[in-house]
């Protein structure tokens, strides 16, 4: 009859853990752990002049029905856009596309190899 108290104790512990998860949700992984967040800063510069480029859209690899991808943000007057990407250690980095809606700069795309790189400087070529 020693097995009955162990079964009851195990069932009680399982119930308590289930209630805890139901109330507080699944814990999010910390920064730079699988499934966690990878904050990044992109700075877009004109290749010829080195000046920052304002208004360039940054898209991620998750495509919408138009094939554009998820819009992560737009660069400000300083050419900088801060984004947060999901980090997976054993996966190739996401496909990122840079596109100027005014058409002054040629679109550029890349696959990020290391999401732990905090600041990425991208130089775009002018089409004029």
Is 48 within a domain?
yes
pLDDT attached to residue 94: 74
Residue 80 belongs to domain with CATH number: 2.60.40.2190
Give Cα 52 to chain centroid, integer Å: 23
Per-residue pLDDT of 76-115, as tens digits, reads 999 999 988 776 666 666 788 899 999 999 999 887 766 6
pLDDT attached to residue 37: 76
pLDDT attached to residue 38: 77
The secondary element (H helix, E strand) that includes residue 36 is strand 36-46
Is 31 within a domain?
no
Residue whose token pair is 């480029």:
53
pLDDT attached to residue 45: 95
* Nearest by Cα to 94 from 63, 54, 53: 63
Residue 98 CA to residue 108 CA, distance in Å, equals 5
Is 91 within a domain?
yes
The secondary element (H helix, E strand) that includes residue 111 is strand 108-111
Q: Which two tokens stand for residue 48?
A: 């010829």
Is 7 within a domain?
no
Q: Check: CB of residue 115 under 8 Å from CB of residue 40.
A: yes
Residue 25 CA to residue 99 CA, distance in Å, equals 37
Residue 63 has pLDDT above 70, yes or no: no
Is 105 within a domain?
yes
Number of Cβ within 10 Å of residue 81's Cβ equals: 19
Full domain range(s) for residue 99: 36-124
Is 46 within a domain?
yes
Domain count, the chain: 1
Residue 50 has pLDDT above 70, yes or no: yes
């Amino acid at each position: 009859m020693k097995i009955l108290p162990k079964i009851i104790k195990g069932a009680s512990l399982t119930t308590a853990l289930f209630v805890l998860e139901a109330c507080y949700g699944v814990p999010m992984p910390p920064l730079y752990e699988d499934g966690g967040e990878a904050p990044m800063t992109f700075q877009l510069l004109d290749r010829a002049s080195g000046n920052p480029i304002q208004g360039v859209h940054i898209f991620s690899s998750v495509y919408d029905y138009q094939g554009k991808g998820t819009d992560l943000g737009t660069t400000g007057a300083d050419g900088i856009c801060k984004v947060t990407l999901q980090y997976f250690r054993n996966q190739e980095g996401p496909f990122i596309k840079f596109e100027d809606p005014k058409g002054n700069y040629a679109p550029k795309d890349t696959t990020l190899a290391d999401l732990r790189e905090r600041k990425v400087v991208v130089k775009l070529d002018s089409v004029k």
